[in-house]
Amino acid sequence: MRIAIVTPRPEGAGAPAELATGNRVTARRWAGVLERLGHTARLAFEYDGEPCDLFVALHARRSHASVRRFRDAYPALPLVVALTGTDLYRDIRVDPDAKESLQLATRLVVLQKQGLVELSPEQRAKARVIYQSAEPPDGVIPPAEGEFRVAVVGNLRPEKDPFRTELAARELPASSRIRVFHLGRALAPEMEDGARLASKENPRYRWLGELPYAETRRWIAGSHLLAVTSVMEGSSNSLCEALASSVPVVASRIPGLVGTLGEDYPGYFPVGDTRALALLLARAETEAEFYATLRRRCDETAYLVRPERELAAFRDLLAELC
C-alpha cells in the first residue's frame, strides 16, 4: 500500500525545513513502522496530489490545506489525522480549519489516553490511541564526576516553557550538584538571547542548542533526570525516550503527560511553578528513596513505549481501514 505522511513545516523565524521538531521525529518513525509492515511511506510537508492509498496528516490545523486537498481528490479513500498538543488543547475548540480536519478524517490518532477526553463522542468513536515508541540508544554520554545531570530536551518555544528548569536551578542550595543541560534549537531570537544569557549568568545551566538526534538520545540516556516543563503537549518524544532508557522524569501536570505517566505519578509539579520544580529537583538529587520511586514508576510505564506495541497498534489501525 502507498501511504503519504504529511507533517507541517517547522514554525519560527529562520527555522530550517530539516529541523527535528517533535512532529517530524514522529513522522519519520511512523514511516519506518509502516515500511516494516510491508508498505511504502512517503514524507512531505504538504500534499502534492500524487496518488496514494492512505493519507496520514500530523496536525489538524496546520495540515488542514493538505487534508482538504486529499479529501477533495479522493472522497472514498482512508484519511488519518494525528492530533498534536495544540490541536487537542486549543485549536479543535476555536479554529475552523482544525475542526474541519477532524470532520474529514476517517480515523483520528491521539498519542496518549487522556487525549480522548478532549474529543466529542462522535470524534472519540473514530479515534485510536497510539503511544509513541522509543528504544535505548547505542550508548550514553555520561555526566561529569560528582554531577547530578538534569536534561531538558525540546526546541525553545513558549509551549515548552523552556526556561522553567533553569529558573528552578537558581533556587537550589549551594550544596547541590545539579547541572541542567538544555538541548534544542531556539525558534525565535528572544529565545536564543535568553538561553545565551542564562548560560552566562547561571553556573548550573548550559544551553547546547540543537544536536543530532542520536547524540540527543545519548545525552538523555546518560542523565540522572529528564525535566519536561511544557504548558501544552499532545505527548512528548523526549519523555518516551527517557522511559526507554530507564531515566526518571519530573514533569508538569498536564493531560498530555499524565496520559502516559499516570494520575498518581509522584514527579509532577504545577505548570509554571518554579519553586515546586526546584523542590522536586532537590528531592530527586538528595533523597535516594524518592529517586528510586521515580525510576521504578517510570520503568513500570516503559512498556507503553516499546516499538512492538506501536507496530501492533498500526497493524490494527490499517486492518480497520483497508
Please report, for the domain that includes residue 107, its CATH number: 3.40.50.2000
Q: What pLDDT was estimated at residue 23?
A: 87
Asked if residue 85 lies in contact with residue 49, where contact means CB atoms within 8 angstroms, the answer is: no
DSSP letter assigned to residue 72: H
Do 230 and 102 share a domain, yes or no? Answer: no
**Domain identity same for 81 and 172:** no
Could you tell me what percent of the chain has a pLDDT over 90? Answer: 93
Residue 18's pLDDT is 54
Task: Give pLDDT tens digits for 176-213.
Answer: 999 999 999 998 999 999 999 999 999 999 999 999 99
pLDDT at 241 over 70: yes
Domain count, the chain: 2
pLDDT band at 19 (very low <50, low <70, confident <90, very high): low
* Contact by Cβ (8 Å): 68, 55: no
Mean pLDDT of 316-322: 95
The CA distances from residue 278 to 87, 171, 251, in Å, are 30, 6, 12
Q: Residue 49 belongs to what domain range?
A: 2-132+306-321
Does 105 lie in the same domain as 15?
Answer: yes
My answer on whether 272 and 190 are in the same domain is: yes
| pLDDT at residue 127 greater than cutoff 90 | yes
Is residue 233 located within the same domain as residue 179?
yes
Across the chain, mean pLDDT equals 95
Q: Is the Cα dihedral 293, 296, 302, 303 positive or negative?
A: negative
Range 138-153 average pLDDT: 97
Does residue 248 come out as left (phi exceeding 0), alpha (psi in the -120 to 50 range) or beta? beta
Q: What is the DSSP letter of 76?
A: T
Neighbours of 299 (CB within 10 A): 12
> Quick one: what percent of the chain has pLDDT higher than 70?
97
Report residue 258 as a C-alpha cell: 499524565
Whether 140 is in a domain gets the answer no
